[in-house]
Amino acid sequence: MPNNLQATEICHTQIQCLECALTVNIPILKEKQKAQCPRCGYTLSAIHRNANQRIIAFSITALIFLIASLPFKFLSFSANGLENHFDAITSFFVLIDNDYQLLALIEFLTIFAIPTVVLLSLIYLLIPMNKGLYPKHARKVLNMVFTLIPWSMVEIFLIGALVSLIKIISMAEIALGLSFYAFILFALSMTIVILHIDKRELYQLLAQVEKKHKIEIKQSKLGADQVPSNAHALSVQKTWALLLTAVVFYIPANTFPIMTTHFFGQNEASTIIGGVILLWKSGSYPIAAIVFIASVIIPVAKILVLAWLNYSVQKQSHRLSLQRVKWYRMAEFVGRWSMIDVFVVIILASLIQLGPTMSITPGAATLAFSGLVIVTMLAAMSFEPQLIWNDRKKYE
């Protein structure tokens, strides 16, 4: 059954594009239709059949599979008569016991805490809003959801688990546990939830509920035409500072070992490039290519692209505006996938702990690379794509 409150009740909705600040009139959209900005091509809205009901259903499903992925074995590892297993709960304690608290925190936040908060928040918001009821602090909760979504890395962790399997399958017997399959279903459900979220529709539905219950609407963000020029200058400076920090992180991330393998008293350190070469030599060409692109190409490309974009808006260039905004979208999208190597190290360090016989420990590059990925993501978030389209005279 359709909602009593639908954002498409209004014949035309006037909204401002988030990426170029163009004001666009959007007509009623039918199922499977989407509205794009005529200037920059940004998707303003996309309609899915029973989207809100599907978000609720798959959010509940994702939470069930998340809970199911916790108590059972995720991966089992056996070599030379010794055996160990990896599961989500014990992996935290293994990392903490080995003084890798920051890696344990990264795993906890990106794989479990943030996705859980996002899913619970969507359920909290949509169940009452679909009935025309107002959830307490709804606007703050919805703002929080869109802030947290980029930091949910469930699908990236799953790819990291597959890369880990490829790396160790030649040296030991590997078995997949029930939690592994539950986590796959959790990742799929979480992805479906994200794909069905339409930012404009949710905010407009919330606005209708607030209006019905006479809730005062406080604008959380000014339109581009209302933002003072010093705010834009601050955005440029902040982006430069974050990019410089990323360059600082990049050097140790690629020169120091990302992990060290201890095998019968011998230590073998491996850098990111060394791991790629090892995968290539073992015949795992697709995995080697994925790791090389995600861990080597993407961080460098993202730094260069954001530096170019930031320089162009600082100089108030009017050239290649459409191309620049497309490069920005690409940089923003692919940056988080560089976390694959960090998750590979987390999984291997938690799984392969066989005392003096064999063990793997994270190297200094792991923390540096984590910082690199986080800082470049923050740099992409601090950059304002609207500056690409701003008129020079408006902010002088």
Alpha-helical regions (H) of 101-228: 101-107, 114-129, 138-148, 154-168, 178-196, 199-212
Tokens of 100: 């890798």
- Domain final residue, candidates 151, 185, 220: 220
- Domain extent at residue 35: 11-47
- Domain final residue, candidates 194, 220, 246: 220
Q: Please indicate, yes or no, if residue 3 is contained in any of the structural domains.
A: no
- Same domain for 61 and 25: no
Q: How far apart are CA 43 and CA 45, in angstroms?
A: 6
Contact residues for 198 (Cβ-Cβ < 8 A; gap 6+): 45, 46, 47, 48, 51
Q: Using one digit for the tens of pLDDT, what is the confidence trace for 147-191?
A: 999 999 999 999 888 888 877 776 667 788 889 999 999 999 999
Residue 210 contacts residue 102 (beta carbons within 8 Å):
no
Residue 157 contacts residue 384 (beta carbons within 8 Å):
no
Q: Is the pLDDT of residue 261 over 80?
A: no
Contact residues for 300 (Cβ-Cβ < 8 A; gap 6+): 250
- Same domain for 263 and 323: yes
- Same domain for 380 and 276: yes
- Same domain for 170 and 75: yes
Domains: count for the chain: 3
Confidence of residue 271 (pLDDT cuts 50, 70, 90): confident
CA 251, 324, 20 angle in degrees (round to 5)? 120
Q: How far apart are CA 288 and CA 272, in angstroms?
A: 11
* Confidence (pLDDT) at 1: 39
- Same domain for 347 and 333: yes
Q: Using one digit for the tens of pLDDT, what is the confidence trace for 384-396?
A: 888 887 644 343 3
For residue 332, give the CATH number of its domain.
1.20.140
Q: Is the pLDDT of residue 224 over 60?
A: no
Q: Is the pLDDT of residue 8 over 90?
A: no
Average pLDDT over residues 9-32: 70
- Same domain for 194 and 76: yes
- Same domain for 235 and 98: no
pTM of the entire predicted model: 0.82
* Confidence (pLDDT) at 5: 43
Q: Using one digit for the tens of pLDDT, what is the confidence trace for 115-155?
A: 999 999 999 999 999 998 999 999 999 999 999 999 999 99
Strand, helix or coil for residue 375: helix
Q: Please indicate, yes or no, if residue 1 is contained in any of the structural domains.
A: no
- Same domain for 62 and 52: yes
Half-sphere exposure of residue 294: CA atoms within 13 angstroms, side-chain side: 23
CA 253, 159, 327 angle in degrees (round to 5)? 65
Q: Is the pLDDT of residue 11 over 60?
A: no
Closest CA to 149 of 126, 125, 121, 118: 118
- Same domain for 284 and 310: yes
Q: Using one digit for the tens of pLDDT, what is the confidence trace for 77-106?
A: 776 666 777 787 888 888 888 788 888 899
Confidence of residue 245 (pLDDT cuts 50, 70, 90): very high
Which residues face 332 on adjacent strands? Answer: none
